[in-house]
Structure 1
Amino acid sequence: MHDYLSLTVAEKATRLDRWLAAELPELTRSRLQKLIEGGQVQVNGQLCRKKQMVVQIGDQITLEIPPTESLALEPENLPLDILYEDESLIIINKAAGMVVHPAPGHSGGTLVNALLYHCQDLAGIGGVERPGIVHRLDKDTTGAIVVAKTDQAHQHLQKQIQTKTAQREYLGVVYGAPRASEGTIDAPIGRHPVDRKKQGIVPESQGGREAVTHWRVRERLGNFTLLEFKLETGRTHQIRVHSSSMGHPIVGDVVYGVGRSVGVNLTGQALHAYRLSLEHPVSGEMIEAIAPPPPEFLTLLEVLRKR
């Protein structure tokens, strides 16, 4: 059954999606944007599909909120490469091709399904839909990901991600050879204005969110380079978008890359979260998890070194 809300703007002019997010904190901004884009928001009786529309004092806003799709979370006995585990958290070296949590189109075979089998008491931690999940890795990005096993750990770890106490470092093979040996990309990221399935460099005035990526050269490989990335923020597809924006897309990235063959069959993009450093939510001790790169990543490096 759909819920209907009628609201009146009582503040100075601001963007529609931002105003709704402030008025309805129980709904995420991304969910509200999808409602706007889906034609479920009216402004003064007129359908509005533009999240950046500026609303004024006295405007009447009507929302139609469909029920959230319930996902059946079934435990599945799937192999997990466990880097660290105790009663508070577990750190996994995620394989390429594994989706982190169930969603329409990926109801099974996810990291959450595997964790529900491995950790019998995980269900409900931090929310029913994404139990224990603190941060994400793209489906075809490999490497270290931490999952909370208690609500206290979940809140503590999320705060560490937000305050940058937790550090995430990646290795990526890119096309081309950057002139500098290191650098920083500071460019806001948001939904691509044309292709809604992609992210892109989008000004903050148009809905982009701050995104900062530090990089340095680890090894030069002719027309390719092995880079190390360190994230300050955690936007969707951040490294992939930023690498592409500086003219050096990640090898194997069919969405933001160039699609040139490198002589190695890759499951996805050559991007690996190799180091995760965080403060233990109970003991306060620093934990550093190192995730060995998958065989195909190492094979790619060997092939490129021989060129």
Structure 2
Amino acid sequence: MTETKQYTIDETYAQKRIDHVLAQLNNEASRSQVQSWVKDGYVTVNQTPVKNNYKCQIGDVIEWQEPEPEDMSLEPENIPLDIRYEDEHLLVVNKPKGMVVHPAFGHESGTLVNALLYHCDDLSGINGVNRPGIVHRIDKDTSGLLVVAKHDQAHERLSEQLANKDIKRQYEALVHGVISHELGTIDAPIGRDANDRQKMAIVDGGKPAITHFSVVEQFQDYTHVSCELETGRTHQIRVHFKYINHPLVGDPKYGYRKTLDVDGQALHAKSLSFLHPVSGEEMMMAAEPPQIFLDTIDQIKKMS
């Protein structure tokens, strides 16, 4: 069991349901998880258990504990992988659009991790049993390159490169509107959206986030851009381009309602460069965007 946390209700959460309040206070927990904590007695208000529909009053003292998460039973699954490099220390895989990287609530199977467990005898265990080998992630509907560690030493050295910004990642994206200048840098801190905990946003006091971009091609109502991440915040490219009023084509979370149908954001992790964690050799990988990305460019050209 984790440590007991405490919060005193003020005007911000007065008359709000207890499950809503706890979901806002616990960024990593889903609403259904919070509701189970309340139901199972891990939450008290003024030292008394309550129900999920309890409406908080100013001055209420909420105390709660987060039960230790149960490890999922991960099963190897024979899912084809597009592997661009592999040796006894690591592999680089081109993740398809629509595939979740690791199991989570609502996505217990069919993930990249399930496929990796079938393909590999060993994966690093640094991130726990639910995320073996995973050094960094990309969103479900973002395609492209990921490096995976086969043992802990490789994982530690790759993570160190990631923290030191020595792993270079380049993305391609299609955005709404015409960006008139050829080069740009978006430097804006990212944190949890105060009004919707399922989203990230540009917020004062957020974590530093920097995205460099260049224009690949301009169209009548859209722009094809290449992006390089200096930091790696959750949804960084998607949030940053929304911030400058050029949201990604197809983005269901941060984009326009009226957009092109590309089954999620038009974003692809095109290239990856890093030093091999054992040999020190410079590794450079590239993968062209998937066909749906290229077809969307053709569609935009016909519309222009």
Query: TM tier, shorter chain?
Result: 0.7 to 0.9
Residues 1-307 of structure 1 aligned to structure 2 (within 5 Å): 3=1, 5=3, 33-34=27-28, 38=34, 64-122=65-123, 124=125, 126-204=127-205, 208-262=206-260, 265-306=261-302, 307=304
How far apart in 2 are the matches of 1:132 and 1:185? 31
Residues 32-74 of structure 1 show CA distances to partners (whole Å, capped at 9, x for unaligned) of 6557x95868899799xxxxxxxxxxxx996523121221111
Aligned to 1:21: none
Aligned residues of 2:2 and 2:68 also touching (Cα < 8 A): no
Structure 1 unaligned segments of length 5 or more: list them: 9-29, 48-59
In the TM superposition, what whole-angstrom CA distance separates every residue of 1:157-215 from its partner, at most 9, and x where no partner exists? Answer: 111111111000000000101122111111111111111111111111xxx21111111
Instruction: Supply the AA of the counterpart residue of 1:122.
Output: L
Identity %: 51
Counterpart-to-counterpart distance in 2, 1:129 and 1:158:
17
Q: Which amino acid aligns with 1:144?
A: L
Q: Shift in Å at residue 31 of structure 1?
A: 10
Does the aligned pair in 1 maintain the 2:27–2:197 contact within 8 Å? no
State the AA in 2 paired with 1:184. T
- The alpha carbon displacement at 1:222 in A equals 1.7
Letter in 2 for 1:179: S
Q: What amino acid maps onto 2:252 in structure 1?
A: V
Q: Which amino acid aligns with 1:270?
A: A
CA contact (8 A) 2:124 2:152 kept: no
Render the CA deviation track for 1:90-109: whole Å, top value 9, x for unaligned.
11111011000000110000
CA distance in structure 2 between the aligned counterparts of 1:218 and 1:4, rounded to whole angstroms? 49
User: Partners in 1 of 2:178 and 2:80 — Cα distance?
Assistant: 37
**What is the one-letter code of the residue matched to 2:65?**
E
Cα distance change on mapping 1:46 and 1:229 into 2, 3 Å: farther
User: What is the distance in 1 between the residues matched to 2:290 and 2:92?
Assistant: 16
* Secondary structure in structure 2 of the residue aligned to 1:69: coil
SS, match of residue 143 in structure 1: strand
The Cα shift of 1:259 comes to 2.6
CA separation of 1:72/1:224 partners in 2, compared to 1, >3 Å: closer, same or farther?
same
- For the structure 1 residues 129 and 4, does the alpha-carbon distance in structure 2 shift closer, same or farther, using more than 3 Å as the test? closer
> Structure 1 pair 155/42, CA: closer, same or farther in 2 (3 Å)?
farther
User: Any unmatched runs of 5+ in structure 2?
Assistant: 7-23, 50-60
- Counterpart contact for 1:279–1:287, Cα < 8 Å: yes
Q: Using structure 1 for the length normalisation, give the TM-score.
A: 0.80
1:22 maps to none
Q: Report how far residue 128 of structure 1 moved.
A: 1.4
RMSD: 2.7
Distance 1:5 1:165, change over 3 A: closer
- The TM-score, its normalising length taken from structure 2, stands at 0.80
Q: Which residue of 1 aligns with 2:17?
A: none
SS in 1 for 2:91: strand
For residues 229 and 178 of structure 2, the distance between their equivalents in structure 1, rounded to whole angstroms, comes to 21
Q: Is the 8 A contact 2:95 2:146 kept in 1?
A: yes
Q: Distance in 2 between matches of 1:77 and 1:95?
A: 15
Cα 1:123/1:168, change in 2 over 3 Å: closer
Q: Give the 3 Å change call, closer, same or farther, for CA 76–7 of structure 1 in structure 2.
A: closer
